[in-house]
Structure 1
């Protein structure tokens, strides 16, 4: 049984311990390429938005925030995952495990907060265009940015504190990374408080999803006959679908992720929400948003001219 003296306590991440060296090399290569693309694409969008003054609008600042959140979340998983694959030493300290769980799951709820803010921004832009600049002032944008980060970080901090209070009987985590549910399942005693607080957080962010969906349903009704307006919200809707499907896959893994399914399926369910949203959301926005696409193409043309000269 584990005591609260956690100085030398470590967790074992047994999600891929049965794989051969060759298989681990393949997984390492795929994960490294995926992480490189996530960093490259998101950093490119962030720098483009910051450098191009024509993109200094609320929607693009919120998109920049979404990209920063993607980098923040993947930083909590990929460096440790790649290191474990390379060294074969798949253990993590108690404090490191709690930190990883905090980062990974706070980035998930931040995604929903940011997407909810972006849904409101699109609602005002399409349904109240004449009032847009009076509503989405610089002060309002700053408040929305704070609200998209502070409450999610606070909620996840409370959950991590409740996990820290638990006395654990086991140290083996059958996953590729530390997660709230995986640590709680190792407890020796009742986890009712953790479960109740966890469900409250789920309901709160389910409310975010309902708000986002309701907003987009209303926008779809308004924009059915307008291609221009449709392009204003379509990438946001695709991003919401991308994130939500990814979270559902993670929930499926937490419920059914066992040795009864193949290792390939386990890996896909375990890290799908750490790969697809941060990789494909910026691509969706880069393709769908005309002004952003033109800014990216403009930078590419300038670089080509410089290289030719």
Structure 2
């Protein structure tokens, strides 16, 4: 009985995603491509297809062009960002400058630009193959953006980046971890990143999804947060001190809006207390 219920739940979820994917795509060939790839997403869990990791390009109903790969990580990211609206802001701030920490293949950068009309995006991504797709997605959609191929952390230097079979799960090795597979990548601090901006320019929104690297990032020098208006973050409670990090950000004069405030999918968010009263939605 339990196996039948589980199968029925999977079928219902797949049909729901197929309907959403059909609506997201903007022409018939794009719809067929995206729908078939969401079905293949389930198959990839048990079978390694020859077409695994092949690039796909679709045109969306909003006019944007998305390039992704046929792998579970990329398709899961499309679901999270574009179907579930996980990065919808629980306040009415319109972000002009967005810093996307852990940009993956650029899906969130694209979504934020489409949804809020961002003027400028700085995307940070350490995985070379992901960074290549970030550039392609942002250039193909003529978005004013800078892509930095690096990890983000408390200091500048070089670290080991541990790749994952899922393209959205790679992470920086921390605290002297011994990893069996990985490559050396550049890591930069927020101070270094912000030093490239005019000294008085604020960051309207930081999007944070760095697979547990948030623990180190938010345990270092936090003076950079004084130049940030708002944050939307996916924390990883299994590897970080989740309550402690929330408290740390609050202590930097941010108001906390917990995940699932808008619906069951949206992320944790923070907005500077000095502007919270004018931007909190409802």
What's the TM-score once normalised by structure 1's chain length? Answer: 0.26
Higher relative contact order (CA 8 A, sep 6+): 1
Q: Which has the larger radius of gyration?
A: 1
More helix by percentage: 1
What's the TM-score once normalised by structure 2's chain length? Answer: 0.28
